[in-house]
Structure 1
Amino acid sequence: MRSYSYILVALCLCWGCKEKSTRKKENDTIVQDSVITTESTVVKIKEVPKKKVPELASLPDTLFIRLADYSDGFAYDMRYATENNFLKEQVYDCAECYTRVKTAKALLKANAEFKKHGVKIKFFDCYRPNSVQYKMWKIVPNPQYVANPKKGSIHNKGGAVDITLETLDGLELDMGTDFDFFGKRAYHDMTDLPQEILDNRTLLKETMEKFGFWSIRTEWWHYNLSAASNDPVANFKWECE
């Protein structure tokens, strides 16, 4: 009986060695029941909490917010975060679209209206820190193309956006020129264009005006929120991840 017990103990010890050996072959790590076990640590796996975004209605109208935190219904082609712009240089560290809260509210309403027509807003530029305005001015110091940073532009106030429209399937509408085309073909009063282009521009302009934005004659893509005209020039900068 005693010898039988010795054999049983030996078998158990041998099984333990095999188990230990198997575990080491798995880079000393075992995952079981949501627990990671290593030679030196035991760490419980916890779900990373999602970033809690405050309700837009609860925020001050002049606060800057990241538009993508409040809707996934927009499209983006942030040109100044690339070299694909009239400056031929990247002036943003990373691509983000920030606006003041009141601008965001108006954009959300306008986009809901556009979706009734099967299209949505696509952004080329949004809020622009004044330090970026200085970068642009250094590259092109011409007020015909770049606002003087000493005075600033409504982009620096968080109340201007450069936009176009694309279908809900991601097809950009024909507006007659590319973004930042500085010529008469980009003017709102240019009527010597195919009817489809005129209709696209009219849809963009009339809808934006309906929700408190106004355009400038020479750029079909540029819209200013009237309620933001008197806001101060800002230099708020977002963090790049």
Structure 2
Amino acid sequence: MKNIFILCLLLAPLCLAAQEIPLNKYGLPVVTTRQLYEQQVRADGQMRLIKVDNMAIDVKYATTQNFTKKVLYPFAAVYLRQPAYEALVRLQEFLEPMGLGLKIFDGYRPYRVTEKMWEIVPDDRYAADPKTGSGHNRGVAVDLTLIYLKTGQELPMPTPYDDFTEKAHHDYMDLDPEVLENRTLLRSLMEAHGFVALETEWWHYYLKNPSRFPLMDIGFEELQ
């Protein structure tokens, strides 16, 4: 206890910010106001959510063309915490000489959207249980694929995005050699840039130790 007290004295702004995060009905601390979010950013710049505007995006959740058949985001945008964003920028720069790039399907996801998804797919292989929250809610998870920069065409992958079958799993091997190579390439690149793969979704990656970033439930409108 003494060591914890000393640590909080040394890191008072961060400790204060953590103490002020309200708990939701599951007892999880969730940032729900722009004011609290900005307070955390002032205490630690890595908490900042950055809008991705220098990579291709295809945000299905801003349309009805997703597994919920509902519009979940008010507009198509991708936000990521600063360390996740910077890692992807480095990866994009690495890919460009090869004529390749990234296409992002999703990044930060408000907690309320995770609750809606769980109502439709209550399976933690493919959707996050609101009782624990998601790396997306923390702004450090990203859904993405590889594209050819010249045409914008996606490299062949095992399944379309958000295909909740075993074919989307990383250990599913009954695939064309080109598809297996592309899946392996994406995983190798993401892991080399500090991300961890979700074994049941070839497109989903998250930064190591995601819990150091708090869960958030702030709408896209408030982030503009």
TM range (shorter): 0.7 to 0.9
Q: 2:22: which partner in 1?
A: none
Q: Deviations over 1:67-113 (max 9, x none)?
A: 21xxx2x1111011111111121111111100111111111111112
**Corresponding position of 1:66:** 51
Counterpart code for 2:45 = P
Is the alpha carbon distance of 1:171 and 1:237 closer, same or farther for their aligned partners in structure 2, counting shifts above 3 Å?
A: same
- What's the secondary structure of 1:106's corresponding residue? helix
Question: CA–CA distance in 1 between the matches of 2:200 and 2:128?
Answer: 14
1:7 matched to which residue of 2?
Answer: none
Superposed, 1:188-207 pairs within 5 Å as 188-207=170-189
**In the superposition, relative to structure 1, how do residues 102 and 227 fare at CA in structure 2: closer, same or farther (>3 Å)?**
farther
Q: Larger Cα Rg: Structure 1 or Structure 2?
A: 1
Once residues 136 and 233 of structure 1 are traced to their aligned partners in structure 2, the CA distance between those partners, rounded to angstroms, is 16
SS in 2 for 1:99: strand
**Residue of structure 2 equivalent to 1:16:** none
Measure how far apart 1:117 and its partner are: 2.4
State how far apart, in whole Å, the 2-side matches of 1:167 and 1:180 are.
21
TM-score normalised per structure 1: 0.70
DSSP-derived class of the 2:101 partner? strand
In the comparison of the two structures, how many residue pairs are matched?
A: 179
Structure 2: state its 5+ residue gaps. Answer: 1-43
1-structure distance, mates of 2:60, 2:188 = 25
Q: Which whole-Å CA distance do the structure 2 matches of 1:177 and 1:171 have between them? A: 15
2:106 equivalent to 1:125? yes
Please report the RMSD computed on the Cα atoms of aligned residues, expressed in angstroms. Answer: 1.8
Cα distance in 2 for partners of 1:208, 1:131 equals: 27
| 1:119–1:166 CA contact under 8 A, matched in 2 | yes
Residue pairs, 1:108-147, within 5 angstroms: 108-147=89-128
The 3-state SS of whatever aligns with 1:223 is strand
Q: Secondary structure at the match of 1:239?
A: helix
Aligned to 2:137: 156
**Which aligned runs of 4 or more in structure 1 are off by greater than 4 angstroms?**
none
Name the structure 2 match of 1:168: 149
Q: Which amino acid aligns with 2:112?
A: S
CA contact (8 A) 1:212 1:227 kept: no
Residues 118 and 129 in structure 2, CA contact (< 8 A), matched pair in contact too: yes
The range that moved more, 200-209 or 188-197, is 188-197
Structure 1 residue 220: deviation in Å?
0.5
What SS does structure 2 have at the residue aligned with 1:166? strand
Q: Which has the higher contact order (CA 8 A, sep 6+)?
A: 2
Q: Show the counterpart of 2:35.
A: none
Specify the alignment match of 2:66 in structure 1.
85
Residue identity over aligned pairs, in percent, reads: 43
CA distance in 1, matches of 2:103, 2:87: 15
Answer yes or no: is 1:179 the counterpart of 2:161: yes
Find the aligned partners of 1:210 and 1:63 in 2 and give their Cα distance. 23
Q: Aligned equivalents of 2:211 and 2:96: distance in 1? A: 27
- 1:18-37 to structure 2, matched below 5 A, reads none
